[in-house]
Structure 1
């Protein structure tokens, strides 16, 4: 229990909540002492408005993002106050302004958070309408509060400049450990492979997000501020973690075949599974150590586990005899070599947190880093290209503008207490996707009801304003801390905070709770109905796009592997980029499938085919990672024409699947007939046998390496071809139904 509390207190979410709480409370306390509570509260609003845009990034980007947000939120507040008296201008002005603010989201995650901050500022502008110089002064105080938040954020950055990235790395290590554990689960006899693969796909979505966060901070820090030893060390750790993940995917064997082969020798598979579990356990232990900021002491059991696996392979060979056991030994030796690579990479990560690195440890990690980031520029063409109903953000912006205007009109013309709470509820709940909006609607309503009732009960018992003030600060801190972790809990604490504040200011607190619940119900209902009926973004419409991107990413990865196998040499930047994109697009495809699952049953079209294609693409990525890892870490023979023909066949299958998704059957590419393809595989096997016979006299080690390569490459090519054919067949079924 204590560890969980400490873990929560050390989290980034809690740190960010502390920043905004400090930035909001200090002005209120200081100005209340001076008898100017309203001024302090206006500055606190500025901190609230600016806080969402403070996302992880380099210090440069952080400052620029917060500054832009600060001027926008104060400017929007001023504009609303200026236009408010003129109703004939107010309504069209608000509709256009809301739409334009929402459209900022086309420029990425930071822009999305800036857009959210601006919309919150717009809704709360109606809580305090001013005139004359008062509105200018009020907007100035909001700007001052925003800048004060910036100051607090920068101070926190300098207090612990590396703590955020260490937490992200620790989370990345933990998720990677989970992935390794799941790979180990596959070796259990009669394992539920479908469930395990589904968990892996869910985990891939989380890994994609955290990988992108780490890239944003580490690579931006490197390019804008130069590369400190700490930054370069974290880069080396991150690169090693990505390679560990690729190696985990590389253990993509036919588990049913292996179980059949080694059922009579269970010690072999158990030795491998034990090693896989201990790899995961070592990373998990390291993750905890990094989060607690304590010295890491490795258990040093991995090398012993490797030796045990090696001994079990020797025992297997001795039991069956060299000739009979040859195929099994080649399989097990490949598995052992992958495990050795895993241990090697894990040792690099462990060393980063136990030893002082020298400059040689960082050699080569700075090459072409910028290419792994999406460029940060904001051309007008990006906005204009999204001004159509084919854009999800355009439809969401239009939907949001209409919903907020309906909410505003209802609040103005019906006897509601405060229109801004309806607007605020709509802004916080509405998301481009139906599923998330529905979920947040229920969580918001439940959280508001529970929070309102609990806070009302506390106010009924406690009459001391000092105690209520302390409780409001605690609720504010917890409300912001849980925003990204558990929205229902966040809604409870935010509601309690608001009720406590009003409990200090106004006497009619009972009416306030009733109105808050009513306003929340209206806002949530409007958001839910709008997402269902106003140009809804059903996920089945987006699935073909994500499928196409995933197939194309896998195809590009295969092309890079084939190029490397043909040319040898060192791993190119284009190879690493293709690998990165394949991981990302498979995760994006799974995220799209997850969103579809949250939608109404009537909108979950072709669910079995979509899921099958998601799993097939994940399996294809595993096969590619296996082939790519093998040729990176072994001295391989010259690629034959048969190899290139088989690879070309798989590439054509994937090309045709993409053409079907695009409904462009005219450019369909013919493949080799199955008989010819079978001949190519026979040819490939014959070439390998000829190569082996020609190497006389040949030493035992070289012979073993060539046999291993022959077996692994041919098996992976057969699997690649089968997977690409299945992707093509399933895509045809998907488009027909």
Structure 2
């Protein structure tokens, strides 16, 4: 229980909840003691409105984002109050302001949250209208609350500057361990491999998100704290995790074929699986040690596990004889090689937490290259201008939100609703670009509001002591802010409870007030749900071809970089690492789009099976590419043969063919058919190379020849597999286009 409580409180969501709760409660408590409750409440609103823009990142960008949110919140508040006396001007201009604030989302997550703060300020401002000099006073107090939150947040950051990074790295370790555990599950003879691959694809979305967060914090922060041993430890750990993930993805095998081949020698595969599980368990254990702030103590002897695998391979070779076991030994030694590399990376991580050393693994040259892996922090006006069309998902969402807010005003004017701003707040909070998430949050908001109201009223029926109610109001506020980011339904429940408790302290007619809150929340949720369905919806099937194309392009570029490295040798280039990063990201984006489509109405889930098939094929292709890329980096390789280059060219042309089909449709098929037939004929001849070389193995035991044989075996096997996958991608893309 203590451990669970500690894990709950020691995370970024709880920390942010503590900050906003203190920033909101402290002014109310202090100023109400001095007889200025209304003033304290207004200051609290300023803190509350700034809070959404407080997303974790490096200190400079975090401060800039919070200050920008402060300006937007105050500007939105002033605009609402100045325009309100002129209805003919107020409604059209506020609708336009909502649209343009929402359009800021084109500049990324930070801009999205700053815009969200502004939208909340507009919605809340319509319920707190002032005139004359009161506007200046009210805006000044909102500004004061915003700045108070900024100071408090940055102070918390200085008190514990590394905790967010450590917790995020710990989460990254656990997700990577989970991914590796799934890879280990594939080795069960009766494994549901389709289900495991689906879990891996969903997990890839989470891993991509956390990798992007870590790049922002670790790469951007290094200029400020990059020379500290602690920061370099986290940076080295993250880079090692990236390489471990690539190695995990590299172990791409036809498991059914391997179980057939080694069916009577299952000890070899079970020994490898045990090693895979222990690798995952070790990463998870490191993550827990970071999370709990305890010294890391190794549980598994990975070197002994590797030795056991090597012995199992030797026993297999002795049992069958060198010639009969040759092909199987090549396969098994290739598997062992990847395991060795993973252990090597994990040992670097273990050493970072068990030895008091300085970290010089990251050179200054590599440090400079890290900038290229970050999303650019520039905000050109062109990006906004380019998105002012119906082809932009953000434009559609912004227009949809603005019209739904306008409808909220209309409903509030036509019906005797007490607080129209609750309708607007519900619309702003619930409405998202995707139909599925909006629908989900609508249900969660209504259920949470009703549940919270029932719980609060039941409690107030028995308890009337203001001190107890006030204390529980603060506790529920803290839990509401914490759970909103974790579980929206539970968060909405606690938010409703603290709102009910707050009104219980302020007004005797609480049942009347809460009745209207439930009605207003339901009206806002229905408007958001209907608006997302009727007003220029961006159904995911319309966007999926773009994500499919980007994933194929990223894999193609990754293969091109691998080919370049294999031909030219030398050190791994920044271009290679960028191509690898983009391939992982685009696969995650494709799967994320597929997940959103799965939440939409069945009638809008067009070509779902075909899309999923392409996602799996791209995942398999990336796995094969990672395997080839890892091999070329970690082995001594010889001059690339003409066979290698011809097959790589074939695969790239197949992928280009699929991209062309997505761009032009099936009419591109005939133009490319003849070219593909010629390439297929050339590739058929190349498939005989491995068999010929294997037949010659008895001629010599020379070590160099063995290395060449191993290289020929792995590289050509991967090329055969790559070509097969690329052909399947072309076929699946063709079927996708034909089914439109």
CA distance in 1, matches of 2:720, 2:4: 48
Instruction: Tell me the alpha carbon deviations over residues 471-492 of structure 1, each in whole angstroms, 9 at most, x when there is no partner.
Output: 1110110011011110000000
What's 2:266 paired with? Answer: 266
Shift of 1:313: 0.5
Are 1:676 and 2:700 matched, yes or no? no
Instruction: Tell me the alpha carbon deviations over residues 55-80 of structure 1, each in whole angstroms, 9 at most, x when there is no partner.
Output: 11111111111001011101211110
Shift of 1:674: 2.7
SS in 2 for 1:360: coil
Q: Is the 8 A contact 1:310 1:336 kept in 2?
A: yes
What's 1:562 paired with? Answer: 563
Instruction: Tell me the alpha carbon deviations over residues 219-271 of structure 1, each in whole angstroms, 9 at most, x when there is no partner.
Output: 11124565433222211100000000000001001111110011100100000
CA distance in 2, matches of 1:371, 1:425: 40
What's 2:545 paired with? Answer: 544
After superposition, where does 1:366-381 map in structure 2 within 5 Å? 366-381=367-382
Normalised TM-score (structure 1): 0.97
CA distance in 1, matches of 2:2, 2:706: 53
CA distance in 2, matches of 1:253, 1:640: 24
> CA separation of 1:249/1:204 partners in 2, compared to 1, >3 Å: closer, same or farther?
same
Q: Is the 8 A contact 1:236 1:365 kept in 2?
A: no
Are 1:462 and 2:463 matched, yes or no? yes
Shift of 1:689: 7.6
SS in 2 for 1:312: helix
Find the partner of 1:706 among 683, 708, 712. 708
CA distance in 2, matches of 1:687, 1:704: 11
CA distance in 2, matches of 1:424, 1:434: 18
After superposition, where does 1:155-194 map in structure 2 within 5 Å? 155-194=155-194
SS in 2 for 1:85: coil
Q: Which runs of 5+ in 2 are unaligned?
A: none
After superposition, where does 1:613-692 map in structure 2 within 5 Å? 613-663=614-664, 665=667, 669=672, 670-671=675-676, 672-683=678-689
What's 2:493 paired with? Answer: 492
Q: Is the 8 A contact 2:690 2:713 kept in 1?
A: no
What's 1:715 paired with? Answer: 717
Q: Is the 8 A contact 2:433 2:538 kept in 1?
A: yes
Are 1:236 and 2:236 matched, yes or no? yes
Q: Is the 8 A contact 1:562 1:647 kept in 2?
A: yes
Instruction: Tell me the alpha carbon deviations over residues 432-486 of structure 1, each in whole angstroms, 9 at most, x when there is no partner.
Output: 0000000000000000000011111212221111111111110110011011110
CA distance in 2, matches of 1:362, 1:607: 44
CA distance in 1, matches of 2:332, 2:308: 13
> CA separation of 1:225/1:296 partners in 2, compared to 1, >3 Å: closer, same or farther?
closer
CA distance in 2, matches of 1:583, 1:617: 10
After superposition, where does 1:424-463 map in structure 2 within 5 Å? 424-463=425-464
SS in 1 for 2:361: helix
CA distance in 2, matches of 1:211, 1:549: 19
SS in 1 for 2:471: helix
Shift of 1:697: 7.2
Shift of 1:360: 2.7
CA distance in 2, matches of 1:151, 1:459: 36
CA distance in 1, matches of 2:421, 2:211: 38
CA distance in 1, matches of 2:359, 2:623: 34
CA distance in 1, matches of 2:225, 2:309: 46
After superposition, where does 1:324-403 map in structure 2 within 5 Å? 324-363=324-363, 365-403=366-404
Greater mean alpha carbon deviation, residues 39-48 or residues 662-671: 662-671
SS in 1 for 2:432: coil
Greater mean alpha carbon deviation, residues 559-568 or residues 663-672: 663-672
SS in 1 for 2:379: coil
Shift of 1:676: 2.3
CA distance in 1, matches of 2:65, 2:338: 43
> CA separation of 1:144/1:105 partners in 2, compared to 1, >3 Å: closer, same or farther?
same
Q: Is the 8 A contact 1:645 1:680 kept in 2?
A: no
What's 2:3 paired with? Answer: 3
> CA separation of 1:736/1:224 partners in 2, compared to 1, >3 Å: closer, same or farther?
farther
Are 1:736 and 2:707 matched, yes or no? no
Shift of 1:414: 1.2
Q: Is the 8 A contact 2:278 2:300 kept in 1?
A: no
User: For this pair of structures, how many residues does the alignment match?
Assistant: 733
Instruction: Tell me the alpha carbon deviations over residues 706-730 of structure 1, each in whole angstroms, 9 at most, x when there is no partner.
Output: 2211111111001000000000000
Greater mean alpha carbon deviation, residues 104-113 or residues 458-467: 458-467
CA distance in 1, matches of 2:20, 2:546: 39
CA distance in 2, matches of 1:673, 1:75: 63
CA distance in 2, matches of 1:534, 1:108: 23
CA distance in 2, matches of 1:635, 1:583: 26
Shift of 1:534: 0.6
Instruction: Tell me the alpha carbon deviations over residues 346-389 of structure 1, each in whole angstroms, 9 at most, x when there is no partner.
Output: 11112222222324333364140000001101111000000000
CA distance in 2, matches of 1:226, 1:282: 27
Greater mean alpha carbon deviation, residues 452-461 or residues 44-53: 452-461
CA distance in 2, matches of 1:686, 1:331: 17
Normalised TM-score (structure 2): 0.97
Shift of 1:408: 1.4
What's 2:198 paired with? Answer: 198
Q: Is the 8 A contact 1:221 1:227 kept in 2?
A: no
SS in 2 for 1:732: helix
SS in 2 for 1:662: helix
What's 1:220 paired with? Answer: 220
Superposition CA RMSD, Å: 1.5
Shift of 1:179: 0.3
Are 1:105 and 2:110 matched, yes or no? no
SS in 1 for 2:349: helix
SS in 2 for 1:173: helix
Greater mean alpha carbon deviation, residues 292-301 or residues 532-541: 292-301
CA distance in 2, matches of 1:597, 1:268: 40
CA distance in 2, matches of 1:391, 1:39: 42
Are 1:68 and 2:68 matched, yes or no? yes
Shift of 1:698: 6.1
Q: Is the 8 A contact 1:53 1:69 kept in 2?
A: yes
What's 2:119 paired with? Answer: 119
Q: Is the 8 A contact 1:247 1:338 kept in 2?
A: yes
Q: Is the 8 A contact 1:69 1:117 kept in 2?
A: yes
CA distance in 2, matches of 1:25, 1:3: 28
SS in 2 for 1:366: helix
